[in-house]
Chain A
Amino acid sequence: MRYLPLTDTDREDMLARIGISDIDALFSDVPAGKLLKAPVELPRAKGELEVERILGKMAGKNTAASAVPFFVGAGAYKHHVPATVDHLIQRSEFLTSYTPYQPEIAQGTLQYLFEFQTQVAALTGMEVANASMYDGSTGTGEAVLMAHRVTKRRKAVLSGGLHPHYAEVIRTLSHMANDEVVSLKPDVAASEDILSQIDDSVSCVVVQSPDVFGNLRDLKPIAEKAHAHGALLIAVFTEVVSLGAVVPPGAQDADIVVGEGQSIGNALNFGGPYVGLFAAKSKYIRQMPGRLCGETIDSTGQRGFVLTLSTREQHIRRDKATSNICTNSGLCVLAFTIHMTLLGQTGFARLAEVNHANAVKLADLLAGVEGVKVLNDSFFNEFTVKLKKPAAEVVEVLAAKGILAGVPVSRLLPGAGLDDLLIIASTEVNTDEDRAALVAALVEVL
């Protein structure tokens, strides 16, 4: 077996050194009859070539985003990732290192975490950011719990523009912890009256912008009303690239900002691994979940970085920890940071501009298609259209033609009576040919 360095002779010598003759003597604490004698019922070891064949065959059955005109979004986005990113994150010292618990031999990881925290704080317009969460949705769940700790209240109000899966993650967690959740109904037109839901019993209001339907939301009035009642505003985004073009949540007085960072540096990966971004006002840092990297000096006065404020975390605080999170998204953080460093604010703003331009072009084209109505007043790189046929059927027919047209709202909200709505995303990867193909196919199908 190519991964196991011990030879049979080694094994014999080592058993002799330990003073036993059979490896199973070391398994003597396994209760009688529970120790397996033969290997389990699975295939035997395979060479690289054979493994590549098996997995290659599975992969080959899937339609890759880059192989077709691709307009699928709603929480994960197809972007171009520079080759440098994937090369660097595969360097052994990054790929095969552990959580930086020994800072003297983990300054590489710690320094990029510090760079990441600074980047996320700047992008969101917030004072502090942590070293990442698993993804945007779990980060949003953690944000709600954090708000409950800060306000000592246990009721969250969720906007109807929040990604339905994010809302479900929050509801699941809240149900388990016996916390209250008020979920507003799906709000395609961004016209919900969330302000009237805010009173002195509310811990936090969770609002996504751009929302799941693509609408840009005005957070400021919500923050004002929330603060007047001692509640927090949690601002959510699923498309981090939008922050290159729109007013950041920090400038609208959000208390906690949480979102999905996959778009920068990370592949679609059928849903994971991704990277959750998490930022807050600095007065709340002791209630933040997740790891934090901080600056300090070594015994000779040289600057260095360490994990800090660890007493919030489970390995010290146990059942009183701010979160049970341990592993986070280290390597996805690195990918994000490298890509963001390559972009800089100039490249990032340009990337956002191109995304918006492509989406506007597509929306304008679709507005001219009979049976398609663009519903958004404002949007960034994603918008919702109303079709004269059920969106899921249309998407299926277009997929058969080799075009991935978007996400039917019925996939996210089955049974909500929104079957004719389709969420369409357009990023920098889309060409004029892609858009023409989508338009032509829709004309044909509708």
Chain B
Amino acid sequence: MAETRYTKDHEYIRIEGDTGTVGISDYAQGQLGDVVFVELPEIGKALSKGGEAAVVESVKAASEVYAPVSGEVTAVNAELESAPGTVNEDPAGKGWFLKIKIADAAELDGLMNEAEYQNYVKTL
């Protein structure tokens, strides 16, 4: 069964085997406001944990999306190009950003689980 982990910068990674699907949390999309553009990496790009993976833009803000773990990009959500609003409407589902081949599963240990993340958001 897929498990979702979160970073303090509000990226999520949904883990299915050695593949992780990365996006931004519902809290993050709410803070950003209407998303107008998402810049995605090239497939095959090697990401390192904490490094820039994508950029998400609203009208008045631009935020880097950091890789929750290291690994190679295996897929990106090309639909976001024409429909960036999907990130607002369904961040955890159709609004995903990219898929990554997880290089080191141990890196997941430092991330928050669903309950921890919800508690973390409450403190903000």
Contact = CB atoms under 8 A, between A and B. Distances in A.
Listed residue (A286, A311, A316, A320) with the most chain B CB atoms within 10 angstroms of its CB = A311
B29 to A, nearest CB: 16
A317 interface: yes
Interface string A269-313: 000000000000000001000000000000000000000001100
Contact of A317 (B36, B37, B58, B62): B62
B105 interface: no
A310 B59 CA distance: 7
A172 to B, nearest CB: 29
A311 B59 CA distance: 7
A265 B58 CA distance: 37
A317 B59 CA distance: 12
B37 A316 contact: no
Contacts of B37: 286, 311
Contacts of A316: 60-62
Contacts of B60: 310-311, 316
Which applies to chain B's interface (DSSP): helix, strand, loop or mixed?
strand
Nearest to B39: A286
Nearest to A321: B62
A286 B57 CA distance: 11
Nearest to B59: A310
A316 B37 CA distance: 14
A286 B38 CA distance: 11
Nearest to B58: A311
Nearest to B62: A311
A323 B36 CA distance: 20
A275 to B, nearest CB: 27
Contacts of B62: 311, 316-317, 320
Interface string B33-65: 000110100000000000000000111111000
Contacts of A310: 59-60
Nearest to B56: A311
Listed residue (B36, B39, B62) with the most chain A CB atoms within 10 angstroms of its CB = B62
Interface string A315-351: 0110010000000000000000000000000000000
B41 to A, nearest CB: 13
Contacts of A317: 62
A311 B62 CA distance: 6
Nearest to B61: A316
A286 B59 CA distance: 13
A430 B60 CA distance: 50
Interface in A81-134: none
Interface in B1-60: 36-37, 39, 57-60
A233 B36 CA distance: 29
A311 B55 CA distance: 11
Contact of B61 (A286, A311, A320): A311
Interface string B56-90: 01111110000000000000000000000000000
Contacts of A311: 36-37, 57-62
B65 to A, nearest CB: 13
A310 B58 CA distance: 10
A316 B39 CA distance: 16
B39 to A, nearest CB: 8
A317 B39 CA distance: 14
A286 B36 CA distance: 12
Nearest to B63: A311
A229 to B, nearest CB: 19
A139 to B, nearest CB: 24
Contacts of B61: 311, 316
A316 B64 CA distance: 12
B60 to A, nearest CB: 7
Interface of A: 286, 310-311, 316-317, 320
17 contacts: A286-B37, A286-B39, A310-B59, A310-B60, A311-B36, A311-B37, A311-B57, A311-B58, A311-B59, A311-B60, A311-B61, A311-B62, A316-B60, A316-B61, A316-B62, A317-B62, A320-B62
Can you list the 3 inter-chain pairs with the closest CB atoms, starting with the nearest?
A311-B62, A311-B57, A317-B62
Given A311-B57, A316-B62, 11 more contacts: A286-B39, A310-B59, A311-B36, A311-B37, A311-B59, A311-B60, A311-B62, A316-B60, A316-B61, A317-B62, A320-B62
